[in-house]
Amino acid sequence: MHRARSGEKADGTVLQTMPSWFISLALHGAILLLATLFYVKHTVTEDDSVYITQIRRPDAPKIANLDPPPPKKNADDEAQPPDDPSMIQEPGAEEEPSASSAAEEGLQDSGGASPLGVAGLPGAGGGSGGGYRSRASRAGSSARGSQRSVTDKRLKAALCWLARHQNPDGSWSATQFAKQCGKHGYAEDCSRNEFSGNEQYDVGVTGLALLALLGAGYTPSSKEAVDEQENAPASSDLLGEGRRLSYGDVVKNACKHLISVQDSSGRIGPDVDRYIYNHLLGSLALAEAYGITRIWLLRRPVEKAVRFLQDSRSPQSGWRYGVRPPDTDTSVTGWAVAVLHSALSSGLMTADRSLYDDVRRWFDLVTVKQGIPRKSVNDPDWDEKREFLLTGYLSGKDAGRLVSVSGQNEHYSYTPALTAIMLLSRFFLDEKRPAEQAGIDTLLAFPPVRWSREDPTSWRRVDLYYWYHATLALAHGLPPEDGRWKKWTEALRPALFESQNLQGFDGTCLEGSWDPVDRWSCEGGRVYTTAIAALTLEACYRFSRVLGAPRKERPIHVDD
């Protein structure tokens, strides 16, 4: 008993003789430790959630309605350089530019060297987001060329169709899009489909649809109404409170959906067979959205998506299905290069020269100069001895051979889509070589073809996937005054314009769409065909700053 009391007294003596400042410091340190543990736990929770934010400076205006509030700032966040505040707008700040101001903006160059960001693809254009163009920039081009309005009339109809068929959660469905028919005052439905699509690729077609909207200049703050005036009541009833559906609503909801389906690893989309296409298209759409808008809620998801993509690459090669697969796929690798290029243009990454060297070596390995078998082009009179620059799918041995899905599209004709992807990737990698001309000649030998809804045999040569990549590659590979560019676009005109459900479809739900009869409609359905056809119309001005090219419109030649 006596010893215990002595111990207590001794303990008390220590506390009594301890300086008051030391006791205060210890107490505050304990409180700070508890607060830190609580904050770290909160941060981890946020990191695993759908929305992950990067803090801005206090004076930077907020973007409305991409929902969650930012977490508390700390000293490290304050020290980080902010995103470009000139790309941030208050709600309702966006206005349609006047022709004069738009033309002035479109003629001005941002100047400066591009940072080696987006996985470090060099020569991607000026400054932060230099690879992107605003609506004002394109409007300025429109003021300088009357051709644009004709293309945009058809493009607007396609984008309106996409907007009308977006699901309430912000996604698009490859197979169930017709459930949205009739909700905006349009008659009939879109059930007339040669190919029904594949539901595995809902995230992929969502990415394509969002890319088409972004390519036309729409952002989450766009106020332009989707519906024409006569259809406004149906839209108002759908949204409530007298509101009309705007393209800004459509873009915002699509961005939110893609972020919501990203898991903690950074992968966008579910773990399905060939999920990589969903991830690539979702990543590309979000990267473009961030590059255009600088909305801070988009930055972290894009960074995570790009890291996942980098970690998924086959060692010393490119990409295919799965993480670090044993083989490489040219089509998948081409989309991956596009994602990295977009992230670079947004200033989100630094260069990885070894990665680019590996990708270049892959294209060198699978690209050969040879003929194409008659059976690949479905032409008994085809000259098999005529040589082209051809890129293979999995190796150089399958160059010139048709890539198909068993039981779906084996009857379609070969197109050099992989050569177009190889060329475009080399442009994004800023690689200029004499072999490019042979590749361009190959694409020009396979121009778009006119086809008819009423003639199924004409569908065998319809490949919107090829037309998109080839148009974009030629837009970068040929000078605007080159007669071969005009010849290509003259072939593209009937192939796209005459086949769009436009004339004679006024007021029907099919209006603005393309029927899913092309080579890859078996995977993406009507949403895919409409989105990639719209992207092809935009291909003449998207990525306009690649290779330091001037901001000069390259319109499709149209006679309306």
Decide if pLDDT at 555 tops 60.
no
For residue 538, which of 173, 169, 209, 96 has the smallest C-alpha distance? 209
The larger pLDDT score, comparing residue 522 to residue 290, is at 290
Residues 32-49, mean pLDDT to the nearest whole number:
38
The answer to which of 77-91, 110-124, 200-214 has the lowest mean pLDDT is 110-124
pLDDT for the residue numbered 97: 37
414/229: higher pLDDT: 414
Q: What is the pLDDT of residue 72?
A: 45
Taking residues 38-66, report their average pLDDT. Answer: 33
In Å, how far are 134, 178, 418 from 208, measured between CA atoms? 19, 18, 19
pLDDT at 86 over 50: no
How many CB atoms lie under 10 A from the CB of residue 305? 26
Instruction: Grade residue 317 by pLDDT with cuts at 50, 70 and 90.
Output: confident
Does pTM top 0.75 for this prediction?
Answer: no
pLDDT at residue 547 is higher than 90: no
The predicted pLDDT at position 432 comes to: 64
Tokens of 133: 């163009």
Between 543 and 355, name the one with better pLDDT.
355
Tell me whether residue 326 is exposed, middle or buried, using C-beta atoms within 10 angstroms of its C-beta: 0 to 12, 13 to 18, 19 or more.
exposed
CA angle 453, 455, 460 (to 5 degrees): 95
pLDDT of 31 above 60: no
For residue 375, what pLDDT band results from cuts at 50, 70 and 90? Answer: confident
| pLDDT over threshold 90, residue 298 | yes
Q: How confident is the model at residue 213 (pLDDT cuts 50, 70, 90)?
A: very high
Answer whether residue 233 shows pLDDT above 60.
Answer: no
Confidence of residue 185 (pLDDT cuts 50, 70, 90): confident
CA 269 vs CA 89, 168, 219, 254, 307: distances in Å: 30, 17, 22, 13, 15
At 431, the pLDDT band (50, 70, 90 cuts) reads: low
The better pLDDT of the pair 520, 560 is held by 520
H/E stretch holding 390 reads strand 388-391
Task: Name which residue leads in pLDDT, 352 or 428.
Answer: 428
* Percentage, residues of the chain above pLDDT 70: 64
Which residue, 168, 202, 204, is CA-closest to 285? 204
Coil, strand or helix: which one is 370? strand
The stretch 287-311 carries a mean pLDDT of 94
Q: What is the DSSP string of 134-147?
A: -HHHHHHHHHH-TT
Per DSSP, the three-state class of 391 is strand
CATH level 2 (architecture), domain 85-548: Alpha/alpha barrel (1.50)
**pLDDT exceeds cutoff 90 at 447:** yes
Highest mean pLDDT among 56-70, 217-231, 448-462: 448-462
- What band does 249 get if pLDDT is binned at 50, 70 and 90? very high
In DSSP terms, 508 is beta-bridged to: 187
- The encoded tokens of residue 263 equal 């898991």
Task: State the alpha helices, DSSP H only, in 402-543.
Answer: 417-428, 435-444, 464-477, 483-497, 521-538
Closest CA to 164 of 506, 516, 533, 511: 511
**DSSP-based helix, strand, coil % in the chain, nearest 5:** 50, 5, 45
Q: Distance between CA 1 and CA 6 in Å, rounded?
A: 9
pLDDT band at 538 (very low <50, low <70, confident <90, very high): confident
Query: What is the predicted pLDDT for the residue at 92?
Result: 34
Q: How confident is the model at residue 253 (pLDDT cuts 50, 70, 90)?
A: very high
- The two three-digit tokens of residue 383, written as one number: 């000259």
- Contact, 555 vs 145, CB < 8 A? yes
pLDDT at position 232 over 90? no
Phi-psi region at 64: left, alpha or beta (left = phi > 0; alpha = psi -120 to 50): beta
Most confident of 182-191, 390-399, 453-462: 390-399
Measured CA to CA, the distance from residue 393 to residue 436 in angstroms comes to 18
Among 185-189, 312-316, 357-361, which is the least confidently predicted range? 185-189
Provide mean pLDDT across the span 231-256: 72
Residue 550 pLDDT: 36
Q: Which uninterrupted H or E stretch holds 389?
A: strand 388-391
Mean pLDDT of the chain: 73
The Cα–Cα gap between 284 and 282 comes to 6
Q: Specify the pLDDT at position 446.
A: 96
Report the alpha-carbon distance of residue 146 to residue 65 in Å, rounded: 36
Decide if 291 contacts 325 (C-beta within 8 A). no
Q: Is the pLDDT of residue 388 over 90?
A: yes
Q: Quick check: 306 pLDDT over 90?
A: yes
The 10s digit of each residue's pLDDT in 130-179 is: 334 434 443 333 333 333 333 478 899 999 999 999 999 999 999 888 88
Q: What is the pLDDT of residue 448?
A: 95
* pLDDT number for residue 187: 74
pLDDT, one tens digit per residue, over 463-486 is 999 999 999 999 888 887 889 998
Q: What is the pLDDT of residue 329?
A: 93
Mean pLDDT of 406-415: 86
Q: What is the mean pLDDT of residues 510-531?
A: 91
Q: Which pLDDT score, from 0 to 100, does residue 82 have?
A: 33
Q: Would you state the structure tokens that stand for residue 29, as one six-digit string?
A: 């340190």
Q: How confident is the model at residue 17, as a pLDDT?
A: 54
Q: Give residue 479's pLDDT.
A: 83
More confident residue, 440 or 452: 440
Domain ranges (residues) in the chain: 85-548
Q: What's the rounded mean pLDDT across residues 36-52?
A: 34
Between CA 324 and CA 164 the distance in angstroms is 38
In the predicted structure, residue 334 carries a pLDDT above the cut 70: yes
CA–centroid distance for 517 within its chain: 23
- In this prediction, residue 551 has a pLDDT band, given cuts at 50, 70 and 90, of very low
| 258-277 per-position pLDDT tens digit | 999 999 999 999 998 889 99
